[in-house]
């Protein structure tokens, strides 16, 4: 996938939008888990410089948006993926999710192109 990321101006976050499907028969379970995300998962998200992280749902489609305030997105994502608590969380979530078949190699959530933003 083409990297649609435009570097943010200094002092501004990078914004990321991603999408994924949720299995309809598992959505209520997915919602329950996200009403009580494990503290270790939240701590790792914060330690990896992610802020204002939100997941939306409509008709079986999940849309996530977050701001990245760090200096090395790839390194922070590797750090997150290496965290044992996050690995256990992902293992719990993955059977509830259905990634898009045309996602980029190595992606689970599919990156989206930002086409408009206004502060």
- Rounded to whole angstroms, the Cα distance separating 64 from 16 reads 8
Q: Rounded to 5 degrees, what angle do the CA atoms 15, 3, 10 make?
A: 45
Q: Please tell me the predicted confidence (pLDDT) of residue 16.
A: 94
pLDDT of 2 > 60? The answer is no
Q: Could you tell me the pTM of the whole model?
A: 0.87
The domain ranges of the chain are 14-111
Q: Provide DSSP, 21-75.
A: EE-GGGHHHHHHHHTT--HHHHHHHHHTTEEEEEEEEETTEEEEEEEE-SS-HHH
Asked whether residue 12 carries a pLDDT value surpassing 90, the answer given is no
pLDDT given for residue 47 in this prediction = 98
Question: Domain 14-111: which topology?
Answer: Alpha-Beta Plaits (3.30.70)
Assess whether pLDDT exceeds 90 at residue 27: yes
Q: What percent of the chain has pLDDT over 90?
A: 81
Q: List all residues 6 or more positions away from 14 whose beta carbon is below 8 Å from its beta carbon.
A: 5, 7, 8, 67, 68, 69, 73
Other Cβ atoms within 10 Å of 44 Cβ, number: 21
């Amino acid at each position: 996938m083409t990297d649609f990321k435009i570097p943010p101006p200094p002092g501004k976050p990078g914004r990321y939008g991603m999408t994924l499907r949720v299995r309809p028969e598992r959505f209520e379970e997915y919602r329950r888990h996200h009403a009580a995300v494990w503290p270790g998962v939240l701590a790792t998200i914060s330690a990896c410089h992610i802020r204002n992280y939100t997941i939306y749902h409509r008709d079986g489609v999940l849309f996530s948006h977050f701001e990245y305030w760090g200096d090395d997105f790839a390194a922070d994502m590797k750090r997150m993926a290496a965290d044992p608590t996050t690995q256990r969380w992902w293992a719990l979530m993955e059977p509830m999710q259905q990634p898009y078949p045309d996602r980029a190699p190595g992606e689970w959530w599919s990156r989206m192109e930002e086409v408009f933003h206004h502060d």
